[in-house]
Amino acid sequence: PSIVSRTDHVNFFTGRSLRTLLERSGFRVMRIHREGFFWPHLRLHTTLGRTQIGRHWANTLRTSFPSQASELIALCSK
């Protein structure tokens, strides 16, 4: 089963789609920051996130593949 069918709190956005949604809601987007790396397996993601080398790999991969960031953080004003 897809992750989408197993949870109700996960939303998948690109930087562009998040910016569009926020701007349509009346926010001015000043910056969108990408954080982490989306490991496709939850146990792998959890295990690697607990170690310094795992977090380092995630940051390196996020830089190389920004579309695979696990989190988008938007700095906005209204």
Summarize pLDDT for 18-33 with one digit per residue, the tens.
999 999 999 999 999 9
**Residue 31 CB neighbours (<10 A):** 8
Quick check: pTM over 0.75?
A: no
The rounded percent of the chain whose pLDDT value lies above 70 is 87
* CB proximity list for 19: less than 8 A, separation 6 or greater: 29, 32, 74
CB neighbour class for 76 (10 Å; exposed up to 12, middle 13-18, buried from 19): middle
Lowest average pLDDT, out of 6-15, 51-60, 68-77, goes to 6-15
